[in-house]
Amino acid sequence: MKREEWDKKLGTCKERNFEFTTVSGLPTKVVYTPDDITGFEHDRDLGYPGEFPYVRGVYTNMYRGRLWTMRQFSGFGTPRDTNKRYKYLLKHGQTGLSVAFDFPTLYGRDSDDSFSRGEVGKCGVAVDSLRDMEILFSGIPLDRISTSMTINPPAAMLLAMYIAVGEKQGVPPRVLTGTIQNDMLKEYQAQKTWIYPPKPSMRIITDILKYCSEKVPRWNTISISGYHIREAGSTALQELAFTLKNGFTYVEHGMAAGLPVDKFAPRLSFFFNAHLDFFEEIAKYRAARRIWAHMMREKFNAQDPRSFLMRFHTQTAGCTLTAQQPENNIMRTAYQALSAVLGGTQSLHTNSMDETYALPTEKAVKIALRTQQLLAYETGVAHTIDPLGGSYYVEALTNELEKGANEYFEKIDRLGGVIPAIEKGFFQKEISRSAYKYQKALEKHDKYHVGVNIFEEEEKPGIEILKIPPEVERYQIRQLRKLRKERNNRRVKEALGLLRKAARDGGNLMPRILDCVREYTTLGEMCSTLKEEFDVYHEPIIF
C-alpha cells in the first residue's frame, strides 16, 4: 500500500479525543516511517556500542560485560542508623552506595546551628565531622565498593572526609572509587542548595578537579545533573539542554584553570531523571551521548576517547510518585527504570513507593531494589545493546531532542553563557513556566496521572511510614558538643587559619580542607570560614 492511500484510510479512523504529545509536549505522530529519518546513516549517526558517537552505549558489550550498578540513594537519622541501612541494602544485593545527607549537611551547617532546628537527620543522614563519617562507613571496605555522595557546596569537605576514612581503613586515595555531585550550576538553576556565589563556587570545583586528577584519579569529580532540573519542573528537552550546557561550562572552566581537557574530562559523569514518557526518556539519553561526544571532540579538541563518553546515573522521577494509591508507584517506577536500562544507564536508583510521605521503609526500598534485579535477571532486556536503536520513532525523537538542545545552547550563548543566564533568572523562569504549564495540563486533563486526576479513589492509604524521632537531633547535637571538647582545638584553629589563607591567596583548597578534616574540624566551621571569605549567594526571586 502506498503512503497516500494509507493516510486516506487513517483519515477515516475515529481518534480518541486526546492531545497526543510527549509528557514534555512534543507532538507525537501516529506512526513513524523511514521518511522521518531521511538521510540517516548508521555508521555516522549511531555507530557501534563503545564507538563514536556512542549513541548506542558507552561500552563495547555494555550489560553483557557488567550490569548497571544498583545504587539506592539512602540516608536518614544518625550515621549509625544509615550504616545499618547500607548493610541491609548490600545484603540484599545492592552493588554501590549512595549517600543522602540531611539539609544542614547539604548547606554546610552543623547540627546545632539555629537554621538546622527540626531538620537534623530528617531527609538524609546528619554528618558534622569525620567522626560521623567513620561511623557511616564502619565495616564497609572502601576499596571494594563505590560510593556516590549527593553533596554540592560542601562537596570538597565530604570528599575529604571520605578520603580520611579511607586512610584510616588503609585504603589510599588512588584506589577510591565514587562520585561527588559537586554540580553547583544546577543548584542555582534548580535544586537550590547553595552557599557561595557562582564565582567562588566554580573556583572550589576547579580546585577539586585539579586535586583529584592528581591524587584521586578514579573519582568522578562532578556528576552533572539534570535530575533536579527535571524534578523542579523542566521538560525532557530542557533537562537535556541545560545539563549538557552546564557540562560544557565545567569543561571551559577546567581548561581556563590550566588543566588539559583529557586530564579531567574522563572523570566527569552525568545524572539524569527517568520520567513518565517512556520513549522520550530513551531518546534523551541517546541524544545526550551523541551531543557530548561531538562537542568534546570537535569543540574542546579532546583526544582521549574516554573524554567523549557520557557516562550517567539515573534516578526514577520522584515528582511523578503519587501520594494517592501509593502501591501504584511500584509500577510507575518499574517502567521508568526500564527506560533507563534501555537508554544505557551506568547506574540506577529506583524510588520507593512511600516517598511522597517520607523516606522509605526497609520493605519499600527492598521492593524498589528488587524491581531493578527483576529487570536485570528476568526480563532479558540487558541481553542486547540499545534494542530500540533503528526504531523510526526513537531515532526521529533522538534527532529532534538533539536539534532542540542545540537551539537552547545558542540561546544561552546569546545571554552570555550559563552563569550570566543564571544571574538573569533564565533557567529559573524556563523551569517554573514548564512546571506551571504541566500542572495546568493536569488540571485540564490534557495529561493524566493515575490516582490523581483519573481513576481516583476515596480511600486513605494505610502504608507504613518511616519516622525520624526528635531524639535524633538531640543525640547528634550531644555528640557534636562532645567532639568539640575532645579534639585538639588549637590544631583545629590552625588548620582553619590555613584554609582561610588559601581561600585568600588562591592556593588549592583541597589539601587545606583535608588537614581540617583530619583534626575533626566540623563541616559548619569549615563552611563558615569560607563564607566569610567568599560571601553568600542571594537568588533573584521569580515565580
Partner 1 sequence: MYKKIRVLVGKPGLDGHDRGAKVVAAALRDAGMEVVYTGLHQTCESIVEAAVQEDVDIIGLSILSGAHMTIFSRILKLLKAKKAIDILVIGGGIIPDDDMKRLQRMGVRKLFGPGTPTSEIVDWIKANAGKSKKRPAKKTRRTRRAPKKSTK
What is the contact mask toward partner 1 in residues 153 to 192, using x (rule: CB under 8 A)? --------------------------------------xx
Task: Give the one residue of 82, 116, 179, 238 binding partner 1; rule: CB under 8 A.
Answer: 116
Instruction: Choose, by CB under 8 A, the member of 373, 391, 453, 508 that binds partner 1.
Output: 453
Q: Which of residues 350-409 bind partner 1 (CB under 8 A)?
A: 356-359
Asked if 432 is part of the footprint of partner 1 (rule: CB under 8 A), the reply reads yes
Burial of 71 (0-12, 13-18, 19+ CB in 10 A): buried
Would you list the DSSP string of 84-145? HHHHHHHHTT--SEEEPBPHHHHTT--TTSGGGTTTTTTSSB---SHHHHHHHTTT--TTT-
- Three cell numbers written together for 7: 493516510
Output the smallest distance, CB 65 to partner 1, in A. 38
Which secondary structure element, helix H or strand E, spans residue 372, and what is its range?
A: helix 362-377
Which one of 177-185, 275-283, 444-452, 496-504 is the stretch in contact with partner 1 (CB under 8 A)? 444-452
Q: Residue 111 corresponds to which amino acid?
A: S
Tell me: does residue 267 bind partner 1 (CB under 8 A).
Answer: no
Q: Do 129 and 483 form a contact (C-beta atoms < 8 A)? A: yes
113 binds partner 1 (CB under 8 A): yes
- For the chain, how big is the Rg over CA atoms in Å? 24
φ/ψ of 5, rounded to 5, equals -65, -45
Q: Of 227-235, 338-346, 403-411, 414-422, which segment contacts partner 1 by CB under 8 A?
A: 227-235
Q: Among 382, 435, 441, 483, which residue interacts with partner 1 (rule: CB under 8 A)?
A: 435
Cell reading at 155: 562537596
Q: Which amino acid, 229? A: I
**Shortest spacing between CB 108 and partner 1, in angstroms:** 10
Element (H, E) at 350: none
At its nearest, how many Å lie between partner 1 and the CB of residue 188?
11
| Minimum distance, C-beta of residue 531 to partner 1, in the bound complex (Å) | 9
Position among 71, 85, 109, 332 found at the interface with partner 1 (CB under 8 A):
109
Does position 231 interact with partner 1 (CB under 8 A)? The reply is yes
Cα(55)–Cα(41) distance, integer angstroms: 13
Q: What residue type is 224 in one-letter code?
A: I
**In the complex, what is the shortest distance from the CB of residue 382 to partner 1, in angstroms, rounded to a whole number?**
33
Q: CA angle, corner 26, sides to 21 and 31, nearest 5?
A: 65
Should residue 541 be labelled a site residue for partner 1 when binding is judged by CB under 8 A?
Answer: yes
Nearest distance, CB of residue 536 and partner 1, angstroms? 5
104 binds partner 1 (CB under 8 A): yes
Pattern 13-52, binding to partner 1, x per CB under 8 A? ----------------------------------------
Residue 322 makes contact with partner 1 by CB under 8 A: yes
In sequence order, what are the beta bridge partners of 101?
125
Q: Which of residues 501-540 bind partner 1 (CB under 8 A)?
A: 536, 538-539
Query: Residue 126 has which C-alpha cell?
Result: 546528619
* Structural contact between residues 244 and 284, judged by C-beta atoms closer than 8 angstroms: no
Determine the angle formed by the axes of helices 155-169 and 198-215, rounding to 10 degrees.
Answer: 20
Positions touching partner 1 (CB under 8 A) are 103-104, 106-107, 109, 113-119, 122-123, 191-193, 231-233, 319, 321-324, 356-359, 432, 435-436, 439, 442-443, 449, 451-453, 460-461, 465, 467-468, 536, 538-539, 541-543
